Structure 1
Amino acid sequence: MSITVESPRTLGRRIDVAAVPSVPAGFTVCAHLGWRPSEDGVDLVHTFTAESISDGAAVNALSELVRVGVLAGQDEFESAMVGLIASCCEDPADGWLAFYANSVDDLRTGRSGFSPVHRRARSLVVGHKVLEVGCCFGLFAVQCAQDGLDVQACDICPGALALLDDVSVRLGVGVRTVLGDARALPVSDDRVDTVTLIHLLEHLSSGDVTVAVREALRVARRRVVIAVPFEDEPSEHFGHLQRLSEDDLLRWAAPWIRSGLTVTVFTDHGGWLVIDKPA
């Protein structure tokens, strides 16, 4: 199956993606992928199937293309990612279902490099009602729902939420989605027990971080959980705008400490900021 996606902010460079049994002649082999330049973009082929497609596997393969200069920027990376998933089965909906099922299984069993982050985040959730802000595909939200929690997932991208709506029904988990911006959450005050912002704030400017944390605290009854990556340089293909460190977390924490809230900052596969409101 072949998928063509245009990268809207990269002068319309086309990313043509097709699933193949093996990489044919004329393509440069890179991990599960093969690539060659086309007249107006890049042709990608891949050997992912319903059994092998997952978030970790796809991200690792595409990150290698970024490293060698084949893909550039967030739009090309995301276009290629969507193409891989949608083309790994004859029916794109089956590709997405396989992607979610495999990705969640990898995260739960520790096969994904992101497993420690999700495992720690889930351990920090308090109460029964959870809002994941900046959910993207919603893999964390799905796990929380599987754990029996009442879960809402919020993102600024309607396409991602539509996928999550469909797949969560097919997986038999009750994730409810809400379209919204982390800087102006469309959720009432004190609506949920825990609000999570897992690898979200590095996508925002410094000023917007302050607003997003304030919004999360407005919506949370009990706790806000923040996780960020520590990188040598912001990952452009992931849409990261800031290089963050523990000093940034301490700076973000300072006003809430002064206001009397209980704040914890620690490191574990990146940085964490946990803010607790009084009971």
Structure 2
Amino acid sequence: MTSSLTSVAPTATIRVRRRLTGSLGSPAWTDQHVFTGHRDGRNVYIAHPLTAATVADHRLVDGLGCLREAGVLQGQAEFEDAFVQIVRSCGSSPEDGWAAFYRNSLAALHNAESAFSPIHRRAREVIAGSSVLEVGSCFGLLALQLAVDGHAVTAVDVCPGAIDLLGQASAGLGIALQAVPGDARALPFGDDSFDTVTLIHLLEHLSSDSAQRSLVEAARVARRRVVVAVPYEDEPDAAFGHVQALTESDLLSWAKKYPGWRAAISEHHGGWLILDRR
């Protein structure tokens, strides 16, 4: 895959190293896994202490988030480039780094160490039927958990690099699922192809028009249920690629566009919309 998960090039050159001794810059994370770094014009230098035993999604998000707040990292592309480089540096090879990332991230979700643990748990609880399509799967951590739960899972994401990583991870972990590149606004599946279609923390990454098109597509390919989860934000978090701040009013507006479906709206670490065919 490329060095970044997005097609947008970082505005700075990111240089990452594991910190074995000494320090670089001021601490930007105050627990046992301190990320340090500084920005020198178009160069960003980051040192981290993560290893194959500790690299995990929540630690990367927290540590790099602090560097972003300190002004060391700017924008989504720089954040993602640093994310990828750190993972690749945590093993004896980039492949070993990613294998460790998946193994540790799934364990953290299972052990409720990750902020996403309650969101994934809720999503797993509301699946209807045996076949599931996860739209906007990114690394596919939810898709892998759903497959372990016994569902026939297909994961789709617009980023080919993320799909390649998920395919390699599922094979390495011995977890069967399908990983398919595709656009949420034009899903490459026929009508009524899956019992449940999930869009978990996806729609905030899309414009209003694209989000609504993605919902239409999800309803088209779902036989029984569509599950939507979004964060509630006052302002969209651009570092994570959010382009719109969503509220309960948005969920209510979306629900009204599907009169042939029963809609349930709730709040659990953000907003949830569940559509069921009447």
Pairwise same-fold verdict (TM > 0.5): yes
Count of aligned residue pairs for this structure pair: 272
- Which residue of structure 2 aligns with residue 171 of structure 1? 173
1:36 and 1:59 map into 2 onto residues whose CA distance is: 17
SS in 1 for 2:190: coil
1:135 aligns with 2:134: no
SS in 2 for 1:237: helix
Query: Do the aligned partners of residues 176 and 6 (structure 1) sit closer, same or farther apart at CA in structure 2, a change above 3 Å counting?
Result: closer
2:196 to 191, 194, 203: 194
- Which residue of structure 1 aligns with residue 75 of structure 2? 73
2:97 and 2:58 map into 1 onto residues whose CA distance is: 15
Letter in 2 for 1:27: G
2:198 and 2:268 map into 1 onto residues whose CA distance is: 16
Query: Do the aligned partners of residues 8 and 196 (structure 1) sit closer, same or farther apart at CA in structure 2, a change above 3 Å counting?
Result: closer
Letter in 2 for 1:142: L
- Which residue of structure 2 aligns with residue 30 of structure 1? 28
SS in 2 for 1:102: helix
- Which residue of structure 1 aligns with residue 16 of structure 2? 17
Letter in 2 for 1:264: A
Counting only pairs closer than 5 Å after superposition, residues 1-279 of structure 1 correspond to structure 2 as: 9=8, 12-22=11-21, 24-31=22-29, 32-38=34-40, 40-256=42-258, 259-278=259-278
Cα distance, 1:105 vs. partner?
A: 1.1
1:171-216 C-alpha deviation (Å, 9 max, x unpaired):
0101211110000000111111000000000011111111110100
Aligned-pair identity in percent equals 47
Question: Given the two structures, how large is their TM-score scaled by the length of structure 1?
Answer: 0.93
CA contact under 8 A between 2:137 and 2:156: conserved in structure 1?
A: yes
Unaligned stretches of 5+ residues in structure 2: none
1:222 and 1:275 map into 2 onto residues whose CA distance is: 8
Query: Do the aligned partners of residues 8 and 70 (structure 1) sit closer, same or farther apart at CA in structure 2, a change above 3 Å counting?
Result: farther
Unaligned stretches of 5+ residues in structure 1: none
Cα distance, 1:40 vs. partner?
A: 3.2
Q: Which structure 1 residue ranges, 4+ long, deviate > 2 Å from structure 2?
A: 4-12, 24-29, 36-40
1:152 and 1:11 map into 2 onto residues whose CA distance is: 30
CA contact under 8 A between 2:24 and 2:46: conserved in structure 1?
A: no
Letter in 2 for 1:183: R
Deviates more, 1:27-36 or 1:111-120: 27-36
1:205-246 C-alpha deviation (Å, 9 max, x unpaired):
111111110100110110000000011211111000011110
